[in-house]
Amino acid sequence: MNYLITGGRIITATDDFFGDVLVEGETITAVGPALEAPDGVERIDATGKYVFPGFIDPHVHVYLPFMGTQAADTHETASRAALVGGTTTFIEMCCPANNEQPLEAFELWLEKAQTSSCDYTFHMGVSRFDQETRKQFEEIVKRGVASLKVFLAYKGAFSLSEEELYETLTFAKQYGLIVTAHCENAELIAKRQAELIGQGKTGPEWHEPSRPTYIEAEGVGRLMTYAETTGAHVYCVHTSCSDALEAVQTAQLRDVNVWVEVVLPHLVFDRSYAELPGFEGAKFVMSPPLREARHQEAMWNALRSRLVSTVGTDHAPFNFQGQKEMGRDDFTKIPNGIPSIENRVEVLYSEGVGKGRIDLNTFVDSASTQAAKLFGLYPRKGTIAVGSDADVVIFDPNAQREISQATHQMAVDYSAFEGWQQQGGVEHVLLRGTVKVRDGKFVGEPGTGEFLTREPTHF
């Protein structure tokens, strides 16, 4: 089926105009005012609506064995939630533990993703780097993965030694890969956690004090040193505080190639949510943790100024009952994560554009275009242009939505945004020319998403 989307206000990272979009097959073939409709084209009236490029979530976890349990979503449920929320592509963290083989893990994650309804690719996790794993990473790069993930956290599971970090970034520079990094300090966090638990401070409200802002900033600063030494291009994931931003800015003045991601929870929740009584705070435990409210304003300012390039989610869906509850007597055993793949676009619009914090072009740039450019998907993804994939979101700025676990598509038993009233909502979603969401309802089919191969660009 071919489509002509008519009369909408087309917004890209740089443009804002009224016009039509012609979709033929999987591709956008014309963009402009008053386009003629070829025979057999279905018209979609976008009058009074925004027409956005499909949104890209640069940081999700779907298949995730973690902290003695397993994430609640499957690729079928997570991709359905993503599409209903306007996300047409996500980049999943493929995260083998340090006792697992990277190539086997890549094959496993790829197999798990076969039920996805939206397009996907991976950041390949590096939890061990030696001559054996190096050969496997070379093969994974040949298979179309152009980004890595390293952890400066989670001692004994994912964290790298200093030597391994250096070798990983040297490898990335050689092959033109960008390295995404969780920036904290695994040793210091382990010490702080043990001290707090030993003092009887076991509730979720102690999660943030166990990994304060200066520990995150130290991790960013350490990554910057390694990036400057090796020349590697790096990307700080889920950056949560002004301290970390200052470390990035200092490095940029030294010409370090670094980009910054913020995730939705750090823009809209502060640490008081993790301090809710009755163990409710466990629903808001993630790492780095939610910060004091003043850091939210800093992150919004950095997003508006484009010091922050992208807005992701770090979607990591664990049920409150039976999973988050594993940590009732020890906050270090609470599976980390706030499920939000479904809510990112609408909440970012409502809290960002709707409240005057960011403009429409910044909204599209940070939630779609920058991810496409940084991770080797542009201009196939991330814009509305002739020759690009027909990934299109029709968005009604006048829609009123209430978020609730009772109606969401994610396979998790709570919503961190329960009862939030949203201004604006996703109405229609096309992925490569196929309607996946119509009038806000999922109409796609599982398994129709594609694995997106990428070429390295960060030499």
What phi, psi does 86 have (nearest 5°)? 95, 0
In this predicted structure, what is the pLDDT of residue 37?
A: 86
Confidence of residue 67 (pLDDT cuts 50, 70, 90): confident
CA-CA distances (angstroms) from residue 90 to 152, 263, 365, 393? 23, 14, 15, 15
Q: What is the pLDDT of residues 112-124, one digit of tens each?
A: 999 999 999 999 9
Assess whether pLDDT exceeds 80 at residue 422.
yes
Assess whether pLDDT exceeds 90 at residue 66.
no
Contact by Cβ (8 Å): 393, 349:
no
Mean local confidence (pLDDT), 390-398: 98
Mean local confidence (pLDDT), 357-367: 98
pTM: 0.98
Q: What is the pLDDT of residues 232-267, one digit of tens each?
A: 999 999 999 999 999 999 999 999 999 999 999 999
Task: Give the class (CATH, top level) of 54-374.
Answer: alpha beta
CATH of domain 2-52+384-416+423-442: 2.30.40.10
Q: Where in the chain is the domain with CATH 3.20.20.140?
A: 54-374
In this predicted structure, what is the pLDDT of residue 295?
A: 98
Mean local confidence (pLDDT), 383-401: 98
Q: What is the pLDDT of residues 17-38, one digit of tens each?
A: 999 999 999 999 999 999 998 8
Q: What is the pLDDT of residues 276-305, one digit of tens each?
A: 999 999 999 999 999 999 999 999 999 999
What is the C-alpha separation between 82 and 90, in angstroms, rounded?
8
What is the C-alpha separation between 222 and 393, in angstroms, rounded?
39
Confidence of residue 157 (pLDDT cuts 50, 70, 90): confident
Assess whether pLDDT exceeds 80 at residue 156.
no
User: Mean pLDDT for the chain?
Assistant: 97
Q: Where in the chain is the domain with CATH 2.30.40.10?
A: 2-52+384-416+423-442
Q: What is the pLDDT of residues 309-355, one digit of tens each?
A: 999 999 999 999 999 999 999 999 999 999 999 999 999 999 999 99
Q: What is the pLDDT of residues 424-441, one digit of tens each?
A: 999 999 999 999 999 999
Of 431, 301, 454, the closest CA to residue 373 belongs to 454
Contact by Cβ (8 Å): 24, 63:
no
